[in-house]
Structure 1
Amino acid sequence: MNATDEAMSFADLALRPELLRALGDLGYEEPTPIQREAIPPLLEGRDLLGQAATGTGKTAAFALPVLQRLAEGEPESGPVALILVPTRELAVQVSEAMHRYGKDIGARVLPIYGGQPIGRQLRALERGVDVVVATPGRALDHIGRGTLALSGLRMVVLDEADEMLDMGFADDIETILQDTPEDRQTVLFSATMPPRIDGMARRHLSEPVRIKIEHERAATGESPRVRQSAYIVTRSHKPAALGRVLDVEAPTAAIVFCRTRDEVDSLTETLNGRGYRAEALHGGMGQEQRDRVMGRLRTGTADLLVATDVAARGLDIEQLTHVINYDVPSAPESYVHRIGRVGRAGREGVAITLAEPREHRMLKTIERVTRSRIEIEKVPTIADLRARRLELTRAALQESLLEDDDLDRFRVVVETLADEFDVMEVALAAVKLAHESTGAAADEEEIPEVALSPTRGRRDGAGRDAGPRERGRGPSRGGMARLFVGAGRSARIRPQDLVGAIAGETRVSGRDIGAIEIADRFSLVEIPESAVQEVIDALRRTTIKGRKVTIRRDRDAP
């Protein structure tokens, strides 16, 4: 199947008339590259392994074949398809899409996820459903209760598989797949293809068709639509730099990614204090709060969403124009997922990263892995900001002159003033008032330019940068404390899991973490004494490798 075949229509894919009618009603004219390549083999019953970023149209690529299969016979009591997704937001999104596509088929699609009353899910499952869209944890819960039958499954879809593994769902997925029929059709989509995804595919897919859609082509097959840039700033100047960038860029809607919940809350408060309309989104919020936040963003009541990676997974915001990394993502895969939220369906998008000088090396790694150019730009100066604000005022006045037919009622004001002042002076005074009425006060402090110097990270014997390493148990270093973590090798805990959990949930960076020892049933990790309580509180609220673990100060430490 040629992904560049621009003449192909959905009718050429041999879809049922009911599906074609629904797609026509939704205004879909022709399939995207991933849909052109994936739908035919899926309709033939082949297993499929697809690498496609967010925004390429992959939901329809698997949803339409699932619905086509439903239309082949009478409704069955148990589900014939199970779609596993990483987050409740994506579960709802996929479910809503399938309802739209399958409206004329009468498809019974049920999303099941945590944070929703389980009684409602139980009643729907008892009545009978055709397709279940579920997060792995809640699916496993229903399987254990005996309320989700897998014996009749003919198709299993793993959507955003790399995200599910990153969130610690690997064991849950393996358990679920082991309980499904051997002759099922299996589909796996992932934005990235690390070795563990390839390993899962080898274990659970049978001679799969392999498809890879480059993000740069996205849903249109066009050249890149995401402008990627970075600003190098010191940590103390980051809030001011972010405000400066937001003022110059003037996004319609933007997501600002932070590493930790505390940073999300702090930055949201700072932005609102500076006059922006920002909302926080992180894992410490309930579903009702999350729904309220997303409602404000979609209705335009807020235009900035400050979020952690986990909280923002699965979100699809149509009016989103900018993604801003307040910190450099810890892995290239995270960067790919973040910027995949803009530049969708041919629309232009902007991805901006605020990097500290020590993070410059990670930007180069991201460039190498993603094979994309991230332009290092100079933080806008006060003069740049003033010029941009004047440009926005000029554009607003031009729009008013072109579109407003109710200007005559102000004519008497201008004519009266023109008797005493020159018309140009009157216009200048009016522009000044309009400009100042926006409340855009100039930032009086210049942000110093950072001169990049060669990094001096820890090196190993081969001259490579050394990451966190496991070391034997010994006395804590000065100013360091040792924490006991109630999970070790038997739970497949690795040093990088502990570093990722601490750095991802607290203000402690990876380089501040000291010696790590992994025993069979527990682990020990050194952290700065000043951060002990913050780390303990944060890790007690989250999971490591998908499980809650005991966290406390090591009793044997001095």
Structure 2
Amino acid sequence: MNADEAAPGFADLGLGPELLGVLTDLGYEEPTPIQREAIPPLLAGRDLLGQAATGTGKTAAFALPVLERMHADGGDPDALVLVPTRELAVQVSQAFHRYGRELGVRVLPIYGGQPIGRQLQVLRRGVDVVVATPGRALDHIDRGSLRLEGVATVVLDEADEMLDMGFAEDIEAILARTREDRQTMLFSATMPARLDRIARRQLRDPVRIELGREAAAAEETPLVRQAAYVVARAHKPDALARLLDVESPEAAIVFCRTRAEVEQLTETLAGRGHRAEALHGGMSQDQRDRVMKRVRGGGADLLVATDVAARGLDIEHLTHVVNYDVPSAPEAYVHRIGRVGRAGREGVAITLTEPREHRMIKAIERLTKRRIPVEQVPTVTDLRARRLEITQSALRDALVAGGSDRFRVVVEALADEYDLMDVALAAVKLAHEATGGDADEREIPAVAGPGGRGPRRDDDRGRSGADGGETTRVFVNLGRAAGVRPQDLVGAIAGESRLSGRDIGAIEIADRFSLVEVPESSADEVIEALRQTTIKGRRPGARRERYPARRG
């Protein structure tokens, strides 16, 4: 059987026999939608702008055309692939090695955290494809060790994440040093306005493909059970721990927005007995490798990570994805939950949402065309029932496994004094308590769901704020002396944060400072937003008020 007969789907795309043979050996039968749409125009030399989420096969969509069109001359690289993280650099490099093995392709990943001496040696010997993070690529370019004169193809993979990490200027600087007639491919899970502007400047009449994102939403989300839980920020750690206790995931990724949140939440979960590991961009490569080894080897069942740090990771036994915060872009939500529910396996996507984040939930529902059910955080009664189920399951497994005969003498002795049912109850009680079954728990107050959905309990009475949540006051070091008016503060906050004017409470303006009442859950965001803007031509300082906000 020849390669064309073995891989008819790929043969129709115009790939050569060497690549078709490799794809056959790897068990590839039919191209994914993005591969079917992207490979022919890329083989024809067209630029491409692809919106594609994880799990759509986009790496092969750009790697196969790059390899097919490669003109290796033994010297400078023919292709440059820019990626946001070390993990993705390694993953993409491995893919190029896998697909290009019959072509003798030489691939080098270069990224920070790896000795630069080895990278310099390999670059001097000559490579065909360089897969790099932008910062390290620019470092080599400035050293003269990475020459771009021969680069005919540039790929920007996970471009939105590279922008979020602050690589926009590095990317522009790298592209400015490549040939004007290069072929450029840009792949991204989301397409923010800033990225679209870069694409317009750097790509020439590109083929646009957006089916990768739609395919991910349509094909993957039906296998994912989705649920949102509305929780005030102060109760989110307890709510997450409660949900994890009830769900008992085989393996889960918990997504957080910041490194600090990752570290704090990991410590909190570990303190409650969960085998949690942190992963974020501030860790060394050795630290990250050790974490992933523990997760993949079963030494940890929870990975608490930022979006950027988790890019390129593939955990085969992943069962749950948890959004500790609602993703700011709806596409990012699809991107995250696409990690579970693959290959016919069911998965679970849990989102902890604060009361004022209902607009973001609505935007996700519009994109996925599926309603996200708003559920109630399990009560203490629910948790106790679940723990009893776990104890019962463990006892059933012990009965099936056998090997308990050496305890028979204890049961027979006790049966002479007590009823056999009472003996069994005492044994179950001891087994249950040994696993922390009677640990003290606090009820987690319920709040109204997005757009008013979901129940509200009586213990929410007396809370201030339009949504029943806590509020706090932000101190701003500008007041009447600077000409500041209430509308100036409202405009600055609403223009730079996710809050609207309706979300902002009482404003007090003194001669040299102002106090603004905002939701407690959004205070840090408001402070950061104020520090990044100007009011009356001045950049204000902002912090939380040093004294508790007055309650109405």
Please give the secondary structure, in 1, of the residue aligned with 2:204.
coil
Please give the secondary structure, in 2, of the residue aligned with 1:66.
helix
Please give the secondary structure, in 2, of the residue aligned with 1:200.
helix
1:444 corresponds to which of 410, 421, 441: 441
Indicate if the aligned counterparts of 1:222 and 1:346 stay in contact, CA closer than 8 A: no
Distance 1:81 1:431 in 2: 64
Indicate if the aligned counterparts of 2:250 and 2:319 stay in contact, CA closer than 8 A: yes
After superposition, residues 129-528 of structure 1 pair within 5 angstroms as 129-215=127-213, 217-218=215-216, 221=219, 224-369=222-367, 371-398=369-396, 404=401, 407=403, 409=405, 412=408, 416=412, 420=416, 431-451=428-448, 466-468=494-496, 477-478=513-514, 508-510=524-526, 513-514=529-530, 517=533, 524-528=539-543
Residue identity matched to 2:447? V
Q: What's the offset of the Cα at 1:321? A: 2.1
Distance 2:253 2:440 in 1: 23
Distance 1:25 1:145 in 2: 40
Distance 1:104 1:424 in 2: 70
Q: What's the offset of the Cα at 1:157? A: 1.0
Indicate if the aligned counterparts of 2:493 and 2:529 stay in contact, CA closer than 8 A: no
Aligned residue number for residue 59 of structure 2: 59
More deviation in 177-186 or 15-24? 15-24
Residue identity matched to 2:288? R
Indicate if the aligned counterparts of 1:476 and 1:526 stay in contact, CA closer than 8 A: no
Aligned residue number for residue 44 of structure 1: 44
1:65-122 Cα shifts (integer Å, max 9, x gaps): 222234xx55431111111111111111111222222233322111111121111111
Indicate if the aligned counterparts of 2:243 and 2:377 stay in contact, CA closer than 8 A: yes
Indicate if the aligned counterparts of 1:10 and 1:30 stay in contact, CA closer than 8 A: yes
The verdict on how the C-alpha distance between 1:106 and 1:508 changes in structure 2, with shifts beyond 3 A counting, is same
Aligned residue number for residue 122 of structure 2: 124
1:349-401 Cα shifts (integer Å, max 9, x gaps): 32212122233343234434554432211001122212222333444455566
The verdict on how the C-alpha distance between 1:529 and 1:246 changes in structure 2, with shifts beyond 3 A counting, is closer
1:462-500 Cα shifts (integer Å, max 9, x gaps): 99992339xxxx9752579xxxxxxxxxxxxxxxxxxxx
Distance 1:91 1:523 in 2: 42
Distance 1:47 1:410 in 2: 73
Aligned residue number for residue 501 of structure 2: none
After superposition, residues 103-122 of structure 1 pair within 5 angstroms as 103-122=101-120
Distance 1:401 1:210 in 2: 60
Distance 1:514 1:462 in 2: 10
Distance 1:131 1:49 in 2: 20
Distance 1:368 1:209 in 2: 26
The verdict on how the C-alpha distance between 1:197 and 1:224 changes in structure 2, with shifts beyond 3 A counting, is farther
The verdict on how the C-alpha distance between 1:224 and 1:217 changes in structure 2, with shifts beyond 3 A counting, is farther
Task: Give structure 1 stretches of 5+ with no counterpart.
Answer: 1-6, 481-502, 532-558
Aligned residue number for residue 23 of structure 1: 23
More deviation in 124-133 or 235-244? 235-244
Indicate if the aligned counterparts of 1:218 and 1:344 stay in contact, CA closer than 8 A: no
The verdict on how the C-alpha distance between 1:43 and 1:396 changes in structure 2, with shifts beyond 3 A counting, is farther
TM-score when scaled to structure 2? Answer: 0.78
Identity between Structure 1 and Structure 2 (%):
66
Distance 1:86 1:388 in 2: 41
Aligned residue number for residue 538 of structure 1: none
The verdict on how the C-alpha distance between 1:463 and 1:99 changes in structure 2, with shifts beyond 3 A counting, is same
Indicate if the aligned counterparts of 2:189 and 2:332 stay in contact, CA closer than 8 A: no
Indicate if the aligned counterparts of 1:382 and 1:443 stay in contact, CA closer than 8 A: no
Q: What's the offset of the Cα at 1:222? A: 5.9
Indicate if the aligned counterparts of 2:50 and 2:210 stay in contact, CA closer than 8 A: yes
The verdict on how the C-alpha distance between 1:220 and 1:98 changes in structure 2, with shifts beyond 3 A counting, is farther
The verdict on how the C-alpha distance between 1:216 and 1:388 changes in structure 2, with shifts beyond 3 A counting, is farther
Distance 1:257 1:223 in 2: 18
Indicate if the aligned counterparts of 2:92 and 2:131 stay in contact, CA closer than 8 A: yes
Please give the secondary structure, in 2, of the residue aligned with 1:224.
helix
The verdict on how the C-alpha distance between 1:287 and 1:328 changes in structure 2, with shifts beyond 3 A counting, is same
Task: Give structure 2 stretches of 5+ with no counterpart.
Answer: 1-6, 453-465, 472-485, 498-509, 547-552
Q: What's the offset of the Cα at 1:18? A: 3.8
The verdict on how the C-alpha distance between 1:150 and 1:388 changes in structure 2, with shifts beyond 3 A counting, is same
Residue identity matched to 1:31? P
The verdict on how the C-alpha distance between 1:292 and 1:365 changes in structure 2, with shifts beyond 3 A counting, is same
The verdict on how the C-alpha distance between 1:214 and 1:60 changes in structure 2, with shifts beyond 3 A counting, is closer
Q: What's the offset of the Cα at 1:451? A: 3.3
Indicate if the aligned counterparts of 2:216 and 2:334 stay in contact, CA closer than 8 A: no
1:517-537 Cα shifts (integer Å, max 9, x gaps): 559xx9724211679xxxxxx
TM-score when scaled to structure 1? Answer: 0.77
The verdict on how the C-alpha distance between 1:418 and 1:219 changes in structure 2, with shifts beyond 3 A counting, is farther
Residue identity matched to 2:143? R
More deviation in 130-139 or 389-398? 389-398
1:30-59 Cα shifts (integer Å, max 9, x gaps): 322222222222223222221111121111
Q: What's the offset of the Cα at 1:285? A: 2.0
1:239-279 Cα shifts (integer Å, max 9, x gaps): 21111100111112112222333322222111111101111
Indicate if the aligned counterparts of 2:280 and 2:306 stay in contact, CA closer than 8 A: yes
Distance 1:223 1:271 in 2: 27
The verdict on how the C-alpha distance between 1:512 and 1:132 changes in structure 2, with shifts beyond 3 A counting, is closer
Indicate if the aligned counterparts of 1:55 and 1:218 stay in contact, CA closer than 8 A: yes
CA RMSD for the aligned pairs?
3.7
Residue identity matched to 2:539? L
Distance 1:213 1:276 in 2: 39
The verdict on how the C-alpha distance between 1:220 and 1:450 changes in structure 2, with shifts beyond 3 A counting, is closer
Distance 1:339 1:222 in 2: 8
Please give the secondary structure, in 1, of the residue aligned with 2:249.
coil
Distance 2:37 2:257 in 1: 36
1:391-416 Cα shifts (integer Å, max 9, x gaps): 334444555666x4x54756855984
The verdict on how the C-alpha distance between 1:159 and 1:475 changes in structure 2, with shifts beyond 3 A counting, is farther
1:435-461 Cα shifts (integer Å, max 9, x gaps): 444334444321121135655999999
The verdict on how the C-alpha distance between 1:331 and 1:220 changes in structure 2, with shifts beyond 3 A counting, is closer
